[in-house]
């Protein structure tokens, strides 16, 4: 008798987040930067952001988010055999933030590494973890998005410094058998991931320093209008492909949790795909753009307030520097 081998799915067991102690409102920023609350809210929807203090780094925020995710997953640190941290602002050029978080959590087994795809980092990290878990090589993963973008902002450049904030979010993924051998869209877990990159767009969004060029950390530079145009014009391709790969449509989605860069980009992308406004999770007003941390922060908010529930169909989607972009559909 042949035994049926069911495929594995990466199922979300828990989610958590962490923010720096200091919250900075637009009004407070007005004192330091030539800007206004009205300009920021109208152009971006951002009302406040959190800024890391000297004692707060990407890895300390990431470790705090990981602990919160482990608590909701009812898992111990020792149950984890894979840690992937998405970040463009690690504490040091090396070692990775992931290995620092691993040590902070007291984990000595398994593997830990960073993924760098700027604001799309968390989507890339979930897709990467899913490949490890569904191959059967690893059992339980912490996937973290953690950033301290305040450290790479040029605070004299009002066109960029008002947009970003610091923070971290994390999820625990566990390899579980799907209901059927081939897997269906009714399974819990990651159902598909669609990733893209196109390096020709580097000059539109980049950091002007690094170890191999200037030997400095550098500052973020951005052509805001160009990024906006690409984000709304192109990014929906991966979302369409994610729907096609799972045989689902915008109507089947319970929640759309996009990268939180700008309310106008979020609204325009949802509208283009026919996703009802009531299904869109928006937290950019509270956190600003926290790059790779923005999606797990938003997931954490929407799980804590009871919106995202077990069995819900959730799409996460992001675009970041490079450009890099991607979408993942998860049944919670």
What is the C-alpha end-to-end distance of the chain, expressed in Å?
Answer: 34
Known catalytic residue at 289: yes
Respond yes or no: is residue 259 known to be catalytic: yes
26, 85, 119, 303: the catalytic one is 119
> Which residues in the 42-81 window bind ligand ACO by CB under 6 A?
43-44
119 binds ligand ACO (CB under 6 A): yes
| Residue 201 is among the residues annotated as catalytic for this protein | no
Find out whether the peptide bond into 54 is cis, omega within 30 degrees of 0. no
Residue with tokens 């602002």: 89
Other CB atoms closer than 10 Å to residue 5's CB: what's the count?
A: 8
The span from the CA of 207 to the CA of 4, in Å, is 50
Choose one: 39-47, 132-140, 190-198, 273-281; the region binding ligand ACO (CB under 6 A). 39-47
Number of residues that bind ligand ACO (CB under 6 A): 22
How far is it, in rounded angstroms, from Cα 16 to Cα 140?
A: 16
The three-state secondary structure class of 56 is coil
Q: Is the Cβ of residue 80 or residue 265 nearer to ligand ACO in the bound state? A: 265
Q: Is residue 88 close enough to count as binding ligand ACO by CB under 6 A?
A: no
Closest by Cα among 220, 230, 221, 239 to 200: 230
Range 269-298, binding ligand ACO (CB under 6 A): 289
Least Å from the CB of residue 260 to ligand ACO? 8
Q: Is 205 in the site for ligand ACO (CB under 6 A)?
A: yes
**Cβ proximity to ligand ACO, 113 vs 228, nearer residue:** 228
User: Which residues neighbour 51 within 8 Å (Cβ) at sequence distance 6 or greater?
Assistant: 20, 22, 24, 150, 165, 166
Q: Using CB under 6 A, list all residues that contact ligand ACO.
A: 35, 39, 43-44, 119, 158-159, 162-163, 205, 222, 224-225, 227-228, 231, 259, 261-262, 289, 319-320
Active-site residues: which are they? 119, 259, 289
């Amino acid at each position: 008798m042949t035994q049926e081998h069911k495929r594995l799915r990466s199922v979300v067991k828990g989610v958590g987040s962490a923010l720096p102690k200091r919250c900075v409102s637009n009004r407070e920023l007005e004192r330091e930067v030539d800007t206004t609350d009205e300009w920021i809210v109208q152009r971006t929807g951002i009302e406040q952001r959190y800024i890391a203090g000297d004692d707060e780094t990407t890895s300390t925020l990431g470790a705090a988010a990981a602990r919160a995710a482990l608590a909701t997953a009812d898992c111990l640190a020792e149950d984890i055999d894979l840690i992937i941290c998405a970040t463009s602002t690690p504490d040091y050029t090396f070692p990775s933030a992931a290995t620092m978080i691993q040590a902070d959590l007291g984990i000595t087994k398994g593997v830990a590494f960073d993924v760098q795809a700027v604001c799309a980092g968390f989507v890339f990290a979930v897709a990467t973890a899913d490949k490890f878990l569904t191959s059967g090589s690893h059992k339980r993963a912490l996937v973290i998005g953690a950033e301290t973008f305040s450290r790479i902002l040029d605070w004299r450049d009002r066109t960029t410094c008002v947009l970003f904030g610091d923070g971290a979010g994390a999820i625990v993924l566990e390899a579980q058998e799907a209901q059927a051998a081939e897997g269906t869209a009714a399974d819990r877990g990651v159902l598909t991931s669609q990733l893209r990159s196109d390096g020709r767009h580097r000059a539109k969004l980049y950091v002007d320093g690094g170890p191999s060029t200037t030997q400095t950390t550098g500052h973020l530079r951005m052509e805001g209008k160009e990024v906006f145009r690409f984000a709304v014009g192109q990014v929906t391709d991966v979302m369409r492909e994610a729907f096609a790969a799972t045989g689902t449509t915008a109507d089947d989605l319970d929640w759309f949790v996009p990268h939180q860069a700008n309310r106008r980009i979020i609204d325009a992308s949802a509208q283009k795909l026919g996703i009802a406004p009531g299904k869109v999770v928006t937290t950019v007003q509270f956190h600003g753009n926290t790059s790779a941390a923005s999606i797990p922060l938003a997931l954490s908010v929407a799980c804590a307030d009871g919106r995202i529930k077990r069995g819900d169909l959730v799409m996460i989607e992001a675009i970041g520097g490079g450009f890099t972009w991607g979408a993942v559909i998860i049944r919670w």
